[in-house]
Amino acid sequence: MSVPQPPEPIPGARLLFSLDPAVSHLNHGSFGAVPIGVQRAQQRLRDEMEANPLRFFAQGLIDRITHTRRHLADFLGADADGTALVANATTGVAVVLQSLGLRPGDEVLTTDHGYGAVGFSVARECRRTGAVTRALRVPLAATDEEVVQVVRAGLRPGRTRLLVVDQLTSATARLFPVAAIVAVAREHGVPVLVDAAHAPGMLPTAVRSIGADFWVGNLHKWGYAPRGTAVLVVAPPWRDRVEPLVVSWEQESGFPGRVEWQATMDYTSWLAAPVGLFTLRSLGVDRIRTHNATLAAYGQRVVGDALGVSPTDLPDPGGPGVAMRIVPLPRGVATTLDAARALRTRIAERLAAEVAVMAWGGQGWLRLCGQVYNRTDEYERLAVRLPPLLAQR
């Protein structure tokens, strides 16, 4: 089978970013990259804040946050009155967990594809409350129907107080059928929290159509917003029960204000976020999505070929538009979290390439992303240089 054709570069897109040109930035999914125009918009807001802090915080800031929230919610197809701005998806998860009122004997159900920090948050809340957590094993190559069946079989009505499921997994770059999962959970009376950290900007997401009780997503990855910009969307029955991690002056205003207002936090990342969406729209949202997904597939195939991986053994993300792909590493390489971190550092230092290295299912995986600032030769260069580096172990 031939290597898939890479997409045509989007003219001028690379110049929109201030990334170090001496490094191949192939891991947009971890921390994103903020366009220069968005950086400048945030700096202007910071200058305004520092010119007169009292006026910035005391005169109209809540209205500006509300306006920003409505803009972002509209882009995501979410109810603005049920959407709160938060620092990141993990923060949103923590807000939900501590608002549930878990008790001894309750259960929080996850999958083995879940994000590590979310798993830590679930474990801590269970320790604090006496609840327990359980992870469902979902095979990497499972079909959507099989994923739903795994979830259906794993639910324990009356005991499972929350199901946490990823829309697009971080460790395995796998798209889950979250709307179908939510429907099954609802049949059993189990609330669902969808961790959609990678969805905003990458996937054509209409949050309302998913129907989850809780949905969290980052705008600072694929939405070109400054870091520290995410949303927590809450269904109407839960809004009065959601409490912030820190109580401040908007506590009596209810959700979402009580979650958003954290006193003297720097809100400029939120206020500049619409400029990120403007950048996205200026380049063409569908155009970017197609470009990035096609480029990630090309990179997966090129690097996979170099590592001797058959095309049939390269994991399929389970849907179009996914701009992250994983490649299995040789047997015994990066099979633990510490080993994966060490290999990522070696690749960064010796190959001048930023990638993600994951340890999942007893196997090491290389995760590659596609973004408008990437070029085909960056994946090709990695493909040439990575095998000798791995051979040195």
- Over pLDDT 90: what percentage of the chain? 96
Q: What is the DSSP letter of 390?
A: H
Residue 230 is predicted with a pLDDT of 98
Write down the pTM of the prediction.
0.96
User: Could you read off the pLDDT of 209-252 as tens digits, one per residue?
Assistant: 999 999 999 999 999 999 999 999 999 999 999 999 999 999 99
Regions in the chain scoring below 70 on pLDDT: 1-3, 393
Query: What are the structural domain ranges in the chain?
Result: 13-33+284-391, 38-278
Residue 393 is predicted with a pLDDT of 65
Residue 286 CA to residue 290 CA, distance in Å, equals 6
Residue 2 is predicted with a pLDDT of 60
Buried b (16+ CB within 10 A) or exposed e, 24-37: bbbbbbeebbbbeb
| CATH-assigned architecture of domain 38-278 | 3-Layer(aba) Sandwich (3.40)
Round the CA-based radius of gyration of the chain to a whole number and report it: 21
DSSP letters, 288-324, are: HHHHHHHHHHHHHHHHHHHTT--GGGSPP-SSTT--E
Residue 180 CA to residue 167 CA, distance in Å, equals 11
For residue 146, what are the CA distances in angstroms to 79, 152, 155, 176, 210?
Answer: 31, 10, 15, 11, 19
Q: Would you say how long the chain is, in residues?
A: 393
Look at residues 269, 390, 276 and name the one whose alpha carbon lies nearest to residue 334. 390
Look at residues 322, 271, 368, 280 and name the one whose alpha carbon lies nearest to residue 62. 271
Look at residues 125, 83, 121 and name the one whose alpha carbon lies nearest to residue 101. 125
How far does CA 174 lie from the centroid of its chain? Answer: 12
Decide: 328 and 311 in contact? Cβ < 8 Å.
no
Q: What is the largest CA-CA distance in the chain?
A: 64
Residues 32, 38, 39: CA angle, nearest 5 degrees:
85
Residue 366 bridge partners (DSSP): 327, 357
Decide: 326 and 173 in contact? Cβ < 8 Å.
yes
Residue 229 is predicted with a pLDDT of 98
Residue 3 is predicted with a pLDDT of 67
Q: Is 349 exposed, middle or buried (0-12, 13-18, 19+ CB in 10 A)?
A: exposed
Residue 263 is predicted with a pLDDT of 82
| CATH-assigned architecture of domain 13-33+284-391 | Alpha-Beta Complex (3.90)
User: Could you read off the pLDDT of 256-289 as tens digits, one per residue?
Assistant: 999 999 888 999 999 999 999 999 999 999 999 9
